[in-house]
């Protein structure tokens, strides 16, 4: 029943796609001028204009039918209730439990996990209060002035992105830095200028077995102990993990460990103790506002009718472009420099979740699934890749994200507008030009010479969604992240894939370990399965010895 309903909805949408392929957003707006006001959504503090997407109201009805056929409501409720929807790892997917208010109990296997969550939040709050007030001292009695978060993937991208986004809310007395790459350049740069006596490391790893993180943590530990001695580790290292045994084996006292749970996926973990470095920067009160923002969007996702449900509408639009238009990428264009790391964060969220080619039952997926996400803050991207967005041959749906008020504004010299107003006018212009372009007639009418007209035509009809909020606050950031988390969920349900495992990254890890001897052994072990790897190793070995 479920499969046949999806197939029927899919067939209807294929027909709709054919019909819409010959239409232009100019026509769609002319036919339905109210769409600019009405194809919009309000979710928490976010105002979302999706009117400049390649859909009519009929298309939207068909997309909703697809969502109903995919049993979105039931699947969502199963996730929120702790069903083991991560079937290949037999795990619940409960990142939403990390942001429930204390009174909002959730019982899993007889345990009220909301209490567990708030116990850890309480410990994080006490610890970060001590750091921020200066009552947590280093081994030589100095105040801690720098926190270095060592983690990778979800144990880095979330806190690093959020820390940057909430820069203006951060304490000036505590500098927070991030190290992720096993490239020694990363750790070296992060430690540059730091005083061991005033530095605290947060080793963030869900599994506490990740090679990059443990390698960086071991080097950081040596850097510290060379200057302060072994006994300094207790005051200068804390861990964030689910793996107490490995934390202890590394030499961090579990008393200085902040736990979370296997039902929190790495890329969904910024609300857990993985957010410790963020809490250290912005304080527990602001961190609570951040979590409340997520919860607001969670509640919207759970309660808003499908047609007004922002993650549902946007998630279905993502499916529309990826699976029907074959759009392989989506651009994330924050018109906010403080969101510079948002595209990288969303890459992991979306691509590790939905970069899959088998369905839940192990059968191949028959349609294109997760798109490649990429992007840069506006207006920088305009001077780099927007040319292709406007006149290239590839369809790239774009999300433009902006804020009515900036944290700080500056008067623009020689213009009545402020810098922030200039920024916002660029966002508005891009959304308009992408959609409506400029015709040959309009260009000719400007007096352009005939042989240049074709080059200047702006085809338009390039879809975009505009997401606006009053200001980039902790709560708004939480809402925005949760909006994307739930879109990913919606897409995964429709495609019938498991959005919560990541088997595709495992083989590379084991192969890297297997290849280490090729670089470290005195003699080249020359035990390769392919001639390309053999030649690459040989080139590296000979080049290293010849320098
Ligand atoms: O937090 P951990 O266990 O160190 O894992 C880091 C990252 O590695 C991955 O497992 C895969 O690269 C991500 O999903 C995760 O966020």
* pLDDT tens sequence across 302-340: 999 999 999 999 999 999 999 999 999 999 999 999 999
Give yes or no for a contact between 275 and 158, defined as CB atoms under 8 angstroms apart: yes
Measured CA to CA, the distance from residue 243 to residue 255 in angstroms comes to 13
Percentage of the chain modeled with pLDDT above 70: 99
Between 204-208, 414-418, 501-505, 543-547, the lowest mean confidence (pLDDT) is in: 543-547
Q: Residue 518 is encoded by which pair of tokens?
A: 């090729």
Q: Quote the CA–CA distance of 541 and 537 in Å, as a whole number.
A: 6
Q: Is 215 in the pocket of ligand 1 (CB under 6 A)?
A: no
Dihedral angle of Cα 50, 393, 376, 317, to the nearest 10 degrees: 30
* Amino acid 389: pLDDT: 98
Contacts of 230 (CB under 8 A, 6+ apart): none
**Helices and strands (DSSP H and E) totals, the chain:** 23, 13
Task: Report the residue among 88, 202, 203, 210 best suited for mutation to probe ligand 1: largest number of ligand atoms under 8 A from its CB.
Answer: 210
pLDDT at 5: 87
DSSP 246-263: HHHHHT--GGGEEE--TT
**Which range among 1-15, 141-155, 380-394, 428-442 shows the weakest confidence by mean pLDDT?**
1-15
* Contact predicate 75/64, CB 8 Å: no
The yes-or-no verdict on residue 518 having pLDDT over 70 is yes
Helices (H), 155-283: 157-165, 184-191, 211-228, 233-236, 244-250, 276-282
- In this prediction, residue 347 carries a pLDDT of 98
Token pair 């567990």 is at which residue?
Answer: 116
Residue identifier of the C-alpha nearest atom 4 of ligand 1? 205
**In the annotation, is 506 catalytic?**
no
Mean pLDDT of the region 236-264 = 96
pTM of the model: 0.97
> Interface pTM (ipTM) of the complex?
0.98
Which residues share a beta bridge with 201?
148, 237
Burial of 387 per CB tally in 10 Å (0-12, 13-18, 19+): exposed
Catalytic residue among 16, 212, 289, 352, which? 352
Average pLDDT (478-500) is 98
CB of 479 closer than 6 angstroms to any ligand 1 atom:
no
**CA atoms of 484 and 172, how far apart (whole Å):** 30
Of 537, 539, 499, nearest in space to 521 by CA: 537
Give the Cα separation of 538 and 547 in Å (integer).
Answer: 14
Q: What are the strands, taking DSSP E only, across 96-180?
A: 107-108, 111-112, 146-150, 175-179
Active-site residue flag, 307: no
3-state class (DSSP) for residue 316? helix
Q: Quick check: helix, strand or coil at residue 472?
A: coil
Burial status of residue 218 (CB atoms within 10 A of its CB: 0-12, 13-18, 19 or more):
middle
Supply φ then ψ for residue 269, to 5 degrees: -105, 5
In angstroms, rounded to a whole number, what is the distance separating the alpha carbons of residues 277 and 168? Answer: 15
User: What burial class does residue 245 get, using C-beta atoms within 10 Å of its C-beta: 0-12 exposed, 13-18 middle, 19+ buried?
Assistant: exposed
pLDDT band at 528 (very low <50, low <70, confident <90, very high): confident
Checking if the pLDDT of 547 tops 70, the result is no
pLDDT digits (tens, 9 = 90+) for 16-74: 999 999 999 999 999 999 999 999 999 999 999 999 999 999 999 999 999 999 999 99
Tokens (6 digits) for 262: 């296997």
Q: Phi first, then psi: what are they for 23, rounded to 5°? A: -100, 160
3-state secondary structure (DSSP) of residue 157:
helix
98-143 pLDDT tens trace = 999 999 999 998 899 999 999 999 999 999 999 999 999 999 999 9
- Among candidate residues 105, 383, 444, 506, the one labeled active-site is 383
Active site annotation includes 509: yes
Peptide bond into 379 cis (omega under 30): yes
Distance of alpha carbon 399 from the chain centroid: 13
- Whether 472 and 336 have beta carbons less than 8 Å apart is answered as yes
HEC sequence for 331-391: EEEECCHHHCCHHHHHHHHHHHHHCCCECCCCCECCCCCCCEEECCCCCHHHHCCHHHHHH
Which residue from 97, 502, 70 is spatially nearest to 319, judged by alpha carbons? 70
**What would the DSSP string read from start to end of 24-74?**
-HHHHHHH-TTHHHHSEEEETTEEEE-TTSS--HHHHHHHHHHHHHTTHHH
- Note the pLDDT of residue 179: 98
Q: Which residue has the higher pLDDT, 238 or 528?
A: 238
Query: What integer pLDDT is reported at residue 1 of this predicted model?
Result: 45
Q: How far is the CA of 456 from the centre of ligand 1 (A)?
A: 46
Give mean pLDDT, residues 188-197.
98
Residue 310 C-alpha to ligand 1 middle, in angstroms? Answer: 28
CB 177 within 8 A of CB 146: yes
Provide the 3-class DSSP secondary structure of residue 496: coil
- Whether the Cβ atoms of residue 257 and residue 247 lie closer than 8 Å to each other: yes
Across the range 187-191, mean pLDDT stands at: 98
pLDDT in the model for residue 2: 67
The answer for residues whose C-beta is within 8 angstroms of residue 247's C-beta and 6 or more apart is 203, 208, 239, 241, 254, 257
Q: Which of 86, 89, 95, 152 to mutate to test the pocket of ligand 1 (most atoms within 8 A of CB)?
A: 152
Nearest CA, atom 7, ligand 1 = 153
User: Mean pLDDT over all residues of the chain?
Assistant: 96
Over residues 211-217, mean pLDDT: 97
Give the pLDDT band of residue 546 (cuts 50, 70, 90). Answer: confident
Residue that the structure tokens 């470290």 belong to: 520
Q: Given the CA of residue 210, which atom of ligand 1 is nearest to it? A: 4
User: Probe ligand 1: pick from 155, 250, 265, 347, max atoms within 8 Å of CB?
Assistant: 155
């Amino acid at each position: 029943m479920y499969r046949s309903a999806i197939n029927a909805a899919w067939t209807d949408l294929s027909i709709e796609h054919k019909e819409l392929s010959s239409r232009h957003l100019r026509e769609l707006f002319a036919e339905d001028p109210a769409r600019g006001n009405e194809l919009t959504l309000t979710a928490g503090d976010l105002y979302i204009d999706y009117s400049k997407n390649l859909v009519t109201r009929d298309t939207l009805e068909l997309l909703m039918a697809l969502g109903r056929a995919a049993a979105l409501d039931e699947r969502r409720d199963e996730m929120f209730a702790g069903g083991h929807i991560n079937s290949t790892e037999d795990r619940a997917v409960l990142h939403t439990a990390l942001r429930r208010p204390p009174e909002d109990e959730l019982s899993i296997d007889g345990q009220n996990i909301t209490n567990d969550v708030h116990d850890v939040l309480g410990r994080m709050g006490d610890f970060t209060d001590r750091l921020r007030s200066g009552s947590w001292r280093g081994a030589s009695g100095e105040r801690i002035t720098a926190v270095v978060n060592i983690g990778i993937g979800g144990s880095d991208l979330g806190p690093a992105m959020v820390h940057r986004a909430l820069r203006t809310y951060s304490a000036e007395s505590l500098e927070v830095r991030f190290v992720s790459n096993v490239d020694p350049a990363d750790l070296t740069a992060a430690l540059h200028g730091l005083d061991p006596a005033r530095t605290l490391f947060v080793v963030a790893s869900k599994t506490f077995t990740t090679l990059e993180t443990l390698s960086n943590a071991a080097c950081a530990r040596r850097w510290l102990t060379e200057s302060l001695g072994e006994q300094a580790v207790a005051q200068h290292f804390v861990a964030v993990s689910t793996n107490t045994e490995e934390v202890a084996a590394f030499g961090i006292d579990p008393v200085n460990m902040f736990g979370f749970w296997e039902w929190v996926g790495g890329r969904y973990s910024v609300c857990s103790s993985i957010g410790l470095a963020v809490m250290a920067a912005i304080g527990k009160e602001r961190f609570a506002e951040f979590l409340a923002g997520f919860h607001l969007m969670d509640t919207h996702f759970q309660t808003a009718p499908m047609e007004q449900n922002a993650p549902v509408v946007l998630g279905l639009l993502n499916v529309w472009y990826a699976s029907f238009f074959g759009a392989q990428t989506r651009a994330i264009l924050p018109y906010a420099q403080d969101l510079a790391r948002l595209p990288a964060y969303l890459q992991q969220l979306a691509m590790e979740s939905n970069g899959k080619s088998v369905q839940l039952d192990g059968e191949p997926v028959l349609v294109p699934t997760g798109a490649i996400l990429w992007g840069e803050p506006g207006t920088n991207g305009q001077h780099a890749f927007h040319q292709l967005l406007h006149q290239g041959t590839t369809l790239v749906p774009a999300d433009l994200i902006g804020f009515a008020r900036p944290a700080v504004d500056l008067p623009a010299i020689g213009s009545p507008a402020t810098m922030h107003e200039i920024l916002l006018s660029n966002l508005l212009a891009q959304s308009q030009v992408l959609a409506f372009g400029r015709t040959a007639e309009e260009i000719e009418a400007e007096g352009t010479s005939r042989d240049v007209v074709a080059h200047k035509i702006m085809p338009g009809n390039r879809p975009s969604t505009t997401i606006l909020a009053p200001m980039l606050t902790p709560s708004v950031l939480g809402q925005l992240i949760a909006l994307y988390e739930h879109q990913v969920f919606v897409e995964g349900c429709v495609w019938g894939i498991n959005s919560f495992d990541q088997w595709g990254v495992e083989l590379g890890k084991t192969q890297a370990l297997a290849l280490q001897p090729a670089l470290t052994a005195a003699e080249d072990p020359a035990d390769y399965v392919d001639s390309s790897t053999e030649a690459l190793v040989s080139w590296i070995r000979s080049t290293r010895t010849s320098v």
